[in-house]
Structure 1
């Protein structure tokens, strides 16, 4: 991190030099005023929350009054997507402006390596105060990019399963503390990361809990009482997070800085349920995306352009008066915030790597179609291990054994999976009808194949030479001998492979 620290001084001097050269009449006060006019930026990241589980996106029963008001006061994006549907790879992709395969942190719990730049570092170099509160999950090399880091703490050891947090379990406890601790008189960036609505879901967190009858169950899950109960507990966590978001907006207003503060709310991936999180269906990669910035963004506006989380780094740098790094894979979408409706993306790209279980899948999504390529079709679409250990999956296994699951509800058990999947999203929003073998869609299929191959070549995507052993047993969700926490870096795994070794947990007692 010493190189990062050294570069900050140089970049700040370059920024001042650039501003001062704009006019010979500018004084030091002019430069200071320019810097002070840059927006504060608040990024709020939900954990495992699907786009359509927010009231403003049409959910009939979930109560999210603060997010609804955020959209009313700002801009709601209806076609926002993530580069992956896995926790830490999604976050490292956001912070680095790179697709997961270019981060060298594409697998769950791999840290972002030392040599990767982040937009947070660039903002800090340019004079922003930077802070993070809540879930971190990006690896030690990124820690120094934050002036203050209030990382959520666990009640048990990192190796534990279905862990509980210190505090109320939300991961949001110290958001306001962070905002209050910022130095005054300089722009700031804060990364506020909720642990809601990550599993395990616990009863008793709400004084007004949701009733299982309020659950809206997608057709690819059975409507059993266990599933409904699971969804109701998930909703409790979303509403708790919404309360904290209201507190953040109130604090910005109390500090008198709300007008020139950009707030972006999004999720790292979809809900932790079968066929959502860790998949490339919209239930895994489509995200709520709401921006409030009273000084610039028109209240009550709606944007239907395709945007990707890989665009955040370039966009935040641009809004801060900085030139996005050439190495970034994403694009600057700041013009959309100002009301421009011209398409920036004709498609978005997403990828699935190891998350508890091995997988390698890629997807291209346009406004109308989704194309998924399953490179390991011999592996089932197994949900994350914490899903396997909880109510919904256990209920699905029971119903599958009884033979009562509908065709769409059997997909996570399917072996082999189809190598190609094609969906008409407009006609089939739940992606139930695979059109890849439909002759009427051969031209669409070929077009989507070309789009996928073009993006893979352009971004230097590649196939792994070996598969990674599963960290958990797919039948039970319990650890295998390969699970280690903290998980070694990609470099350590690759070094072991080169030496012909397979990394194993020395403390495993299974």
Structure 2
């Protein structure tokens, strides 16, 4: 292939920047929460399609990220729990992009969790932890950086907050600063190199924050927030009496009523401050694209793996719950279009569709398999027909859930109880309608949807009964 052909091949397919956080609540942008200070992300959202009804597949890092990487629900890619591992024979969409001619790179958290699967990156700096106290071999590049800076990772923060503490070192030594700066350098290196004019690129920059430990109290970012603005949510621990028993079995340290009110407010401020820190890093990364005239031709995808209670129902952190706080996540996409005016979309979408979006944009839709989700976001700006989902499906191992027309139904395998919420009337999920006689028709329909999904997830589910068997 000659030089002009290579350049045309690159121009015909967008470059792709995938920005990701860990454990980020939906209402953590200035865009949808005036208390939060994220000017860089707010500006990016203005150029993007913001999906107001976006959901993750699972409330835990490993299965949710496995689903994103493969384009398949956790049950389908056989990684349904935190202690499960992606099978080696699965394929990531990043590998598909490599095969389609993309240069691929990753900086930050991936959480393949000792899986032997081919990651699909030409270059990677993996940081699978959330602080200097993470498993050393999983955050080795970050620890090497701290050593060069003369910083003792054991002294970077204390334990003065709820599941977190006050940061005591230079802000540049925070794990999210490290990931942001290494991601920026990775992008600069490739864009300024010879190959950038010949091959399109896909770069993932995946921040470990704002996941616990909440450790940005004490930074300049925290200084921009007032404690009196860190309100407690309307729902509280008393609301757990209407929920299944395991809601009262989270880590005892995660229940905020065990602490003084000010301590929760400082913890929440730390969480918001972490978002502000990440915002500043993303601002620098976007500036790299703009300075090299690559912003308009780059598709930028932003999401997280799951959310955080951050005070809702009197809890912080996350676990095996399918609550809106954990499952309803931020997701927006900036198309590779100059001067694109952003807008909101209310359709149900899932971040599993990042795989089909990237492969479709790369001209590699032929790599999509029947067991992958296939609702690429690009249809919202290319003029192709949009096949919006009628409902959203989610899972957490032996819990399965459906949201349809604002009714959320959560089924617990081999349990007599469950959860059902009318989100249009009760967006905070405080009133469990599982036994309410007025909602039994909705429940029955939702349970049918769940059964349909589980049939679809079975191996060889699309194979006919017999050669000439009629369709059922």
TM-score category, normalised to shorter length: 0.7 to 0.9
C-alpha distance in structure 2 between counterparts of 1:128 and 1:434, whole Å: 48
User: Does residue 177 of structure 1 match 2:176?
Assistant: no
Question: How far off its partner does 1:85 sit?
Answer: 1.1
Question: Paired residue for 1:219?
Answer: 234
Question: How far off its partner does 1:109 sit?
Answer: 4.9
C-alpha distance in structure 2 between counterparts of 1:308 and 1:452, whole Å: 16
Change (3 A) 1:108 1:296: farther
1:195 aligned counterpart, secondary structure? strand
Find 1:196's aligned residue among 209, 217, 226: 209
Listed as ranges, the gaps of 5+ residues in structure 2 are 147-172, 238-256, 460-472
C-alpha distance in structure 2 between counterparts of 1:272 and 1:99, whole Å: 23
User: Does residue 74 of structure 1 match 2:112?
Assistant: no
Question: Paired residue for 2:168?
Answer: none
Question: Paired residue for 1:326?
Answer: 369
Question: How far off its partner does 1:35 sit?
Answer: 4.0
C-alpha distance in structure 2 between counterparts of 1:428 and 1:341, whole Å: 33
C-alpha distance in structure 1 between counterparts of 2:337 and 2:357, whole Å: 17
Query: 1:210, 1:233 within 8 Å by CA — same for their partners in 2?
Result: no
Question: Paired residue for 1:206?
Answer: 220
Change (3 A) 1:162 1:257: closer
C-alpha distance in structure 2 between counterparts of 1:254 and 1:30, whole Å: 25
Question: Paired residue for 2:419?
Answer: 421
Question: Paired residue for 1:168?
Answer: 174
Query: Counterparts of 1:49-448 in structure 2 under 5 Å?
Result: 49-56=24-31, 58-138=32-112, 139-142=114-117, 144-152=119-127, 155-156=132-133, 158=135, 166=146, 167-170=173-176, 171-182=179-190, 183-185=195-197, 186-202=199-215, 203-207=217-221, 208-221=223-236, 224-271=261-308, 273=310, 274=315, 277-278=318-319, 279-295=321-337, 298-323=340-365, 324-333=367-376, 334-338=378-382, 342-353=386-397, 360-375=398-413, 419-448=417-446
The superposition leaves residues 244-281 of structure 1 with CA deviations (integer Å, 9 ceiling, x where unpaired) of 11111111111221111000111110026437733211
The superposition leaves residues 436-492 of structure 1 with CA deviations (integer Å, 9 ceiling, x where unpaired) of 21111121111111111111111139xxxxxxxxxxxxxxxxxxxxxxxxxxxxxxx
The superposition leaves residues 359-406 of structure 1 with CA deviations (integer Å, 9 ceiling, x where unpaired) of x311112241111112375xxxxxxxxxxxxxxxxxxxxxxxxxxxxx
C-alpha distance in structure 2 between counterparts of 1:122 and 1:92, whole Å: 15
C-alpha distance in structure 2 between counterparts of 1:36 and 1:141, whole Å: 34
Question: How far off its partner does 1:225 sit?
Answer: 2.6
Higher relative contact order, structure no. (Cα contacts within 8 Å, ≥ 6 residues apart): 2
1:79 aligned counterpart, secondary structure? strand
Query: Counterparts of 1:22-33 in structure 2 under 5 Å?
Result: 29-30=4-5, 33=8
1:103 aligned counterpart, secondary structure? coil
Query: 1:82, 1:308 within 8 Å by CA — same for their partners in 2?
Result: yes
Change (3 A) 1:157 1:315: closer
2:419 aligned counterpart, secondary structure? strand
Query: 2:394, 2:402 within 8 Å by CA — same for their partners in 1?
Result: yes
C-alpha distance in structure 2 between counterparts of 1:173 and 1:197, whole Å: 17
C-alpha distance in structure 2 between counterparts of 1:340 and 1:231, whole Å: 42
C-alpha distance in structure 2 between counterparts of 1:455 and 1:36, whole Å: 39
Listed as ranges, the gaps of 5+ residues in structure 1 are 1-15, 17-26, 354-359, 378-417, 462-510
Count of aligned pairs between the two proteins: 389
Question: How far off its partner does 1:72 sit?
Answer: 0.8
Question: Paired residue for 1:499?
Answer: none
C-alpha distance in structure 2 between counterparts of 1:446 and 1:436, whole Å: 11
Question: How far off its partner does 1:328 sit?
Answer: 3.8
2:445 aligned counterpart, secondary structure? helix
Change (3 A) 1:80 1:340: farther
Change (3 A) 1:308 1:292: same
C-alpha distance in structure 1 between counterparts of 2:264 and 2:413, whole Å: 30
Query: 1:162, 1:199 within 8 Å by CA — same for their partners in 2?
Result: no
Question: Paired residue for 1:489?
Answer: none
C-alpha distance in structure 1 between counterparts of 2:119 and 2:422, whole Å: 44
Find 1:45's aligned residue among 6, 13, 20: 20
C-alpha distance in structure 1 between counterparts of 2:425 and 2:384, whole Å: 27
Query: 2:230, 2:265 within 8 Å by CA — same for their partners in 1?
Result: yes
The superposition leaves residues 325-366 of structure 1 with CA deviations (integer Å, 9 ceiling, x where unpaired) of 21443113221244678442111111113xxxxxx3111122
Identify, as 1 or 2, the structure richer in strand: 2
Question: How far off its partner does 1:194 sit?
Answer: 0.4
Change (3 A) 1:276 1:80: farther
Query: 1:209, 1:232 within 8 Å by CA — same for their partners in 2?
Result: no
1:434 aligned counterpart, secondary structure? coil
C-alpha distance in structure 1 between counterparts of 2:134 and 2:52, whole Å: 39
